[in-house]
Amino acid sequence: MNGVKTQPIGINKPIYYIIMSKFESSIRQINYPQEVVYQGLSNLDNLSKVKDRIPEDKAQDLTFDNDSISVNVPPVGKISMRIVDREEPKTIKFETTQSPLPFNFWIQLLPLTESTCKMKLTLKAELNLFIKGMVSKPLQEGIERIADMLQMIKYEQSDGEQTVGEEL
The answer to which of 3-7, 74-78, 128-132 has the lowest mean pLDDT is: 3-7
Q: What is the pTM of this model?
A: 0.81
Give 108 or 129, the one with higher predicted confidence: 108
Indicate if the pLDDT at residue 59 is higher than 90: no
User: Letter for the amino acid at 104?
Assistant: N
Q: Look at 168 and 143; give whichever has higher pLDDT.
A: 143
Q: What band does 52 get if pLDDT is binned at 50, 70 and 90? A: confident
Q: According to the model, what pLDDT value does residue 158 have?
A: 56
Q: How confident is the model at residue 46 (pLDDT cuts 50, 70, 90)?
A: confident
Q: Is residue 123 very low, low, confident or very high in pLDDT (cuts 50, 70, 90)?
A: very high
Q: How far apart are CA 128 and CA 149, in angstroms?
A: 29
The pLDDT value given to residue 37? 96
Confidence category of residue 2, pLDDT binned at 50, 70, 90 = very low
| Alpha carbon distance 15, 20 (integer Å) | 16
Q: Measured between alpha carbons, how far is residue 32 from residues 7, 79, 101, 112, 145 in Å?
A: 43, 29, 33, 10, 20
Percent of the chain with pLDDT over 90: 51
Q: What is the pLDDT of residue 63?
A: 87
**Residue with more model confidence, 78 or 7:** 78
Q: Which residues contact 158 (CB under 8 A, 6 or more apart)?
A: none
